[in-house]
A and B are shown apart, each in its own frame.
Chain A
Amino acid sequence: MTEASPIAASSPAAFDVQRVREDFPALHQDVHGKPLVYLDSAATSLKPQSVIDAVAEVYARDCANIHRAVHLLSQRATVRFEEAREKVRAFVNAAKKTEVVFTRGTTEAINLVAHSWGRAYLREGDEVLVTELEHHSNIVPWQILCQQAGATLVVVPMTDRGEILREAFEEQLTERTRLVAMAHVSNALGSVLPVAELIALAHERGAVVLLDGAQAMSHVDVDVQALDCDFYAFSGHKLYGPNGIGALYGKERLLEGMPPYQGGGDMIRSVTFEETIYNELPYKFEAGTPNIAGAIGLGAAIDYFSSFDAHVVHAHENAVLRYATDALESVPGVRLIGTAPGKVAALSFLMDAAHPHDIGTIVDSEGVAIRTGHHCAQPVMEHFGIAATARASLGMYNTTDDIDALVTALRKVQELFG
């Protein structure tokens, strides 16, 4: 398992970004009369044509419910849905397909664990450990759970560069820590956490570990067996897949011992008014008709991403990130927020001249799409004593030209506000 891909190992020249750009139709449009420069992939990545086609084909051809009817359409949809599960399994290197539960996304996957595992196993006096750089989705479910269980939410502080250090983590880990929930990659800052090391420490104390992989999947290697994490939550739409689909990986032993998250169809084997016998894994956790087209679209996204050497993609993104870091630092009055040495795909920054919201509007008028605000990570903003940042984030289709366009747009901000 590598935390971040080796930068020097593969040549970025081997990656033809212009050809990649051809695969993403949304890139080829003008906004406000300017060619779109999309620098908001941490919010959602654009979708390649093959994903759009796969989703359309489900509705155009294999439009049926799964795991039910005997007719051919249902059979085709079921096969493709389960093929998508196998693709997810292979992509994160889970041992078994039954360890992959489809969810609406990362948030639902985390909530599933909080409700099901949490209510069954968390006791009064226990502690749940999170880090200071978490997204709200990896804070609030645990806060709610701790309130209900009489447990305590404990926070590992981050450094001023936006890192979570082993020492700080160890300091907060106690014999009362029952669960550790942390990001693999920070959404607001791009920091990559040393998760393999932290998981090993948590396991020594007997704690269960959930990783929030929303920002990680397309930017670093994810191998759940090598990491030895107990749960891994992620979303399809940040991996070039559709919205409304994601997955929870869970170790079989843990999933077996957990009660259902929701009651409904597909999660039961038999129902009488006296008793319900639950279905086997993973269906026990998939109540109701799932997002069939979304899952198949996610499978297509994994196919698309896997048609490249992931390390070459990571090296390309890292090269653009380094270029962007240098370029932004050369703009007078720009301050980077989050300068961890291990960092991928995102650059949060402030400008002396203007508030992030004004920056966002002005660069948008130049065709450049960035995110502004607190990025659903208010504790991170609090740490730096700020209300918001502007954030440029990268996907595999971004180039140094995109960064040049951003810098030109930032000079517009200075002209107007300077």
Chain B
Amino acid sequence: MDLRDLYQEVILDHGKNPRNHRFPEPHNREGRGYNPLCGDKITLRLQLDGDTITDVGFIGQGCAISQASCSTMTEAIKGKKLPEVEELFSKFHTMLTSDDGSDDPDALGKLAVFAGVREFPMRVKCATLGWHTLNQALRSEGGEATTE
């Protein structure tokens, strides 16, 4: 087990300096995510125009993995259409949880830096918190996503 597989430079950088760490105005969707095990919290807001996410940002606190994952996610989904976003999450989730990882790491771009999380099953929830929060924001206009 090599820690550098988990804590890649991109993750350390985004953990320390999360991108889109602000609430976009205007916005018409909000999701709140919470990991009760470690107390990680994320509030995500986005502007959905038709089926395109035109702007997105979040305020959160938590471990480097959870914050970096949310940060890279906002970069990856901005300007994307919902079906593309769904496919991205599905690929991301497969990379973290399946035995042989992603069959198509290139499709994930920068998100592929999280591949190492698969070796740390206790941390998969940290890496998916932002994505679950996104799902919750898209599905409803309230409530709270949790990793449990």
Binding site for B on A (CB under 8 A): 32, 354-358, 361-362, 365, 372-374, 378, 381, 387-388, 412, 416-417
Contacts and interface: CB of A to CB of B under 8 A. Distances in A.
Contact of B12 (A372, A388, A412, A416): A416
Contact of B62 (A355, A362, A381, A417): A355
Contact of A357 (B1, B12, B16, B63): B63
B44 interface: no
Contacts of A412: 3
B6 A373 contact: no
B7 A416 contact: yes
Contacts of A362: 3, 7
B95 interface: no
Interface string B114-125: 000000101100
A358 B65 CA distance: 8
Contacts, number: 53
Contacts of B123: 357, 361
A285 to B, nearest CB: 32
B39 interface: yes
A358 B1 contact: no
Given A357-B62, A373-B38, 17 more contacts: A355-B62, A356-B38, A356-B63, A357-B38, A361-B6, A361-B120, A361-B122, A362-B3, A362-B7, A365-B3, A373-B39, A387-B38, A387-B39, A387-B62, A416-B3, A416-B7, A417-B12
Q: Is the interface of A mostly helix, strand, loop or mixed?
A: helix
Contacts of B62: 355, 357, 387
B126 interface: yes
B134 interface: no
B64 to A, nearest CB: 5
A403 B37 CA distance: 26
6 contacts: A32-B1, A357-B38, A358-B7, A361-B123, A381-B39, A387-B39
A357 B123 CA distance: 9
B144 interface: no
Contacts of B38: 356-357, 372-374, 387-388
Interface of B: 1, 3, 6-7, 12, 16, 37-41, 61-66, 120, 122-123, 126
A354 B11 CA distance: 13
B12 A355 contact: no
A388 B3 CA distance: 22
Nearest to A353: B16
Contacts of B120: 361
A378 B63 CA distance: 17
Nearest to B67: A355
Contacts of B126: 357
B40 A387 contact: yes
Given A32-B1, A416-B3, A358 B64 contact: yes
Contacts of A416: 3, 7, 12
Contact of A387 (B16, B61, B64, B122): B61
A356 to B, nearest CB: 7
Nearest to A365: B3
Contacts of A32: 1
A417 B62 CA distance: 14
Contacts of B41: 387
A331 to B, nearest CB: 19
A355 B62 CA distance: 7
A268 to B, nearest CB: 39
A196 B7 CA distance: 49
Most buried by B among A378, A388, A417: A388
Contact of A374 (B16, B39, B61): B39
A416 B40 CA distance: 21
A272 B41 CA distance: 55
A29 to B, nearest CB: 16
Contacts of B7: 358, 362, 416-417
A412 B64 CA distance: 15
Contacts of A378: 39
Nearest to A374: B39
Contacts of A374: 38-39
B82 to A, nearest CB: 31
Contacts of A355: 62-64
Given A357-B126, A358-B65, A388 B1 contact: no
B133 to A, nearest CB: 16
A310 B9 CA distance: 49
A371 B40 CA distance: 16
A355 B66 CA distance: 10
